[in-house]
Structure 1
Amino acid sequence: MISRRSLLAAASIISLASLGLAGVAPAYAQQKQVKLQLAWLFNGAAAGEIVALKKGFFAEKGLDVEILPGGPNSNTVQETLSGVAQIATAYAPEIMYAANQGLPIKTFGAAFQKAPLTFYSLGESNIKSVADWKGKRIGASQGATAQIKVVLDHNGMKLDDITFIQAQIPGLLQGQVDVVASWPTNVAQNVPIVQNPAGYNTQSIWDNGLQFQSNYYIARTDLIGSDSDMLVKFLEACDKGWAYAADHPEEAIDMVASMSSAIEKDKELASLKVIVSDFIYTDETREHGFANISKDRWNATLQTYAKIGEIKPELTADDVFDGSILAAAQRTKR
């Protein structure tokens, strides 16, 4: 005998099928809305997350993700704390300063295994190491002062041993500074330096005492505790997005360009290739997996900032990092 419940279930299936929705409604019903706040504008540095969105990798995990662009005035720590976004990408200094104030925010992964900030000088200046900075004019944004202090301290100098000037690449080309901070991931911006007839020299913060990572994924500590499953799924989708971007860079940049008409695709493609080969995938990701964070490295970074008086000396990796999401996620070793 066919029960009334069976008839109702059958009628429901027929109704869904007639609309072409059978098997689809339950999946959409389970989609969780998530906002991701980027630290910077849409460009190659966010290619993996954008690919994860455009290729449906977030949706496969039951996540309805909206990606919000950042910019020069963006403060992703504050935007995450205020609830503008559940997840954000952020840089090491702002994370350390947040921990120094006791704010409830932590990292749970890092897309960039190395912070790319690098100092450039023209070949004719013969500045080949940080030791050669003494008495020179060093150009950077005001926000890079702490990084400069650490690099100088690592080489036995202080800020008084240089002349700090707020400047960018044009300042170097026009002779206003001897050294300028830039990013090897920004290929278009660095073209005038790279094409300098007398060549150029570089000193990266990574090679000079400041080995922090970059583009950290951050979330409120209460969210990490209460919705770890969502964060695990998010991280796994980002992993898949970055792997796809690495294998299909041209297509990835097309997806980035669909989010921002301002980028120059050929130059952004060159940047993406540098990002993938030098910063997303390293020996550590080959051993530990995508987005790996080293607790020892966090401790070392905190100690360097404490040494120059930027943060309290008692801060440890546990104040800025929760390893539970990395441990639970299935991550590509590449």
Structure 2
Amino acid sequence: MLPIKLQLDWKPNAQFAGILVAHHLKWYEAHGIDLQICPWAPYLNQVDVLKESGNVIISTEDNLLIRGRENGQAIKAIATMMQYSGIGWITLKSSGINSISDFKGKRIGIHGDGETAIKITLGQFGLDPNDVEIIEIGYDYPQLLQAGDFDAIQCLVMVEPIELADEGFEIQVIPAYKWGYEVYSQVIATSERLITAEPDTIKGFLQITFDGWRYAFMHPQEAANIVVSQYLHESNEPMQEKLIKALYPLFIGQLGPEKLGWMDTSRWAKSIEYLTNYNVIQQPFQPEEIMTNYFMEQIYGAEETSFRS
């Protein structure tokens, strides 16, 4: 068995249902992978975890990965779970804020991984980051909304809005990808060392992962049961099932379920351009330096590709 540490960028909820289902059903184990799933911790940059020794795979935002590459880390994206970022912002309906244009002069709460998203999205509408007050916040969404200290707060559009609506909040959701921020999210990445040393293991990990996602989307109730009973006891099945269904359009994008995980070099080039234009990185580079479709080509290019159902 080859031990692999998988570092998530959030708690083990429905955002990772495909992985959790495959793990619970022992699909990774059957392929010789001893998978250790590690939840996110406050202020953790998942890309930094790739500096550890051992076999590490992470889920992260594409901008964090690009910045890690610029800083000299030998790392690459090998697939993406989400075709579109789930980053967005929520406001109370009573605020009257319905679009990015309405952010001007407002106080916006963000998390560390959302700074790039807010800057780029503002720029799509001729706004400068100085036109708004941007402050990093925590994750107690009900308290933040009730306190009224922020006009809008960052969220994951397929998670917190559903949870808050369930608690009785009347909110407006502003998804970043619908306002010009079209980037990959929950990107699966690892070190170039592991890519070179264990190509067959990585291919197997990815095939199992996306088979797990197809299974979760086909059986959302069963997947929700697995998430709650095995990994996230504090949640409930109806909520996790709603989240799985809400994730579906973000995962399939325009590709369909048959090509889950696929990445396009032109979209990576656009992300690199975004970060260069906003001085997040100083030197642009080619998409192939930060991503590879090699493994997904191996999986989807196989003459006899069969998916678990």
Task: Using the TM superposition, give the Cα deviation of residue 187 of structure 1 relative to its aligned residue in structure 2, in angstroms.
Answer: 4.4
* Aligned counterparts, 1:286-301, within 5 A: 286=257, 289-301=259-271
Task: Using the TM superposition, give the Cα deviation of residue 179 of structure 1 relative to its aligned residue in structure 2, in angstroms.
Answer: 1.7
Match of 2:189 among 214, 218, 233: 218
Q: Tell me, yes or no, if structure 1 residue 325 matches structure 2 residue 298.
A: no
* Aligned counterparts, 1:297-312, within 5 A: 297-312=267-282
The percent of aligned pairs where both chains have the same amino acid is 21
* Aligned counterparts, 1:1-334, within 5 A: 31-167=1-137, 169=141, 170-187=143-160, 190-192=163-165, 195-196=168-169, 200-257=171-228, 258-275=230-247, 277-286=248-257, 289-330=259-300
Count of aligned residue pairs for this structure pair: 300
Conserved in 2, the CA contact under 8 Å of 1:92 and 1:214?
A: yes
With normalisation by structure 1, the TM-score equals 0.81
Task: Using the TM superposition, give the Cα deviation of residue 51 of structure 1 relative to its aligned residue in structure 2, in angstroms.
Answer: 1.0
Deviations 1:297-319 (A, max 9, x none): 11101101111100124223122
Give the RMSD, CA atoms, in angstroms: 2.5
**Alpha-carbon distance between aligned partners in 1 of 2:271 and 2:167, rounded to the nearest angstrom:** 30
Task: Using the TM superposition, give the Cα deviation of residue 236 of structure 1 relative to its aligned residue in structure 2, in angstroms.
Answer: 0.6
**Alpha-carbon distance between aligned partners in 2 of 1:207 and 1:195, rounded to the nearest angstrom:** 25
Task: Using the TM superposition, give the Cα deviation of residue 106 of structure 1 relative to its aligned residue in structure 2, in angstroms.
Answer: 0.6
**Alpha-carbon distance between aligned partners in 2 of 1:45 and 1:313, rounded to the nearest angstrom:** 32
Q: Which residue of 2 aligns with 1:3?
A: none
Deviations 1:135-158 (A, max 9, x none): 122222244222211111111111
Conserved in 2, the CA contact under 8 Å of 1:120 and 1:200?
A: yes
Q: 1:148 to 1:188 in 2, by over 3 A?
A: closer
**Alpha-carbon distance between aligned partners in 1 of 2:226 and 2:124, rounded to the nearest angstrom:** 41
Query: Which amino acid in the other structure matches residue 222 of structure 2?
Result: E
Gap regions ≥5 residues in structure 1:
1-30
Q: Secondary structure at the match of 2:58?
A: strand
Q: Which residue of 2 aligns with 1:19?
A: none
Task: Using the TM superposition, give the Cα deviation of residue 185 of structure 1 relative to its aligned residue in structure 2, in angstroms.
Answer: 2.0
Conserved in 2, the CA contact under 8 Å of 1:40 and 1:69?
A: yes
Q: Secondary structure at the match of 1:83?
A: coil
**Alpha-carbon distance between aligned partners in 1 of 2:104 and 2:161, rounded to the nearest angstrom:** 29
Q: Secondary structure at the match of 2:177?
A: coil
Task: Using the TM superposition, give the Cα deviation of residue 253 of structure 1 relative to its aligned residue in structure 2, in angstroms.
Answer: 2.1
Q: 1:106 to 1:255 in 2, by over 3 A?
A: same
Q: Which residue of 2 aligns with 1:24?
A: none
**Alpha-carbon distance between aligned partners in 1 of 2:189 and 2:177, rounded to the nearest angstrom:** 22
Query: Which amino acid in the other structure matches residue 231 of structure 2?
Result: M
Conserved in 2, the CA contact under 8 Å of 1:107 and 1:217?
A: yes
**Alpha-carbon distance between aligned partners in 2 of 1:156 and 1:254, rounded to the nearest angstrom:** 45
Q: Secondary structure at the match of 2:50?
A: helix
**Alpha-carbon distance between aligned partners in 2 of 1:223 and 1:92, rounded to the nearest angstrom:** 19
Query: Which amino acid in the other structure matches residue 58 of structure 1?
Result: Y
After TM superposition, what 4+ stretches of structure 1 lie above 6 angstroms from structure 2? none
Q: Secondary structure at the match of 1:217?
A: strand
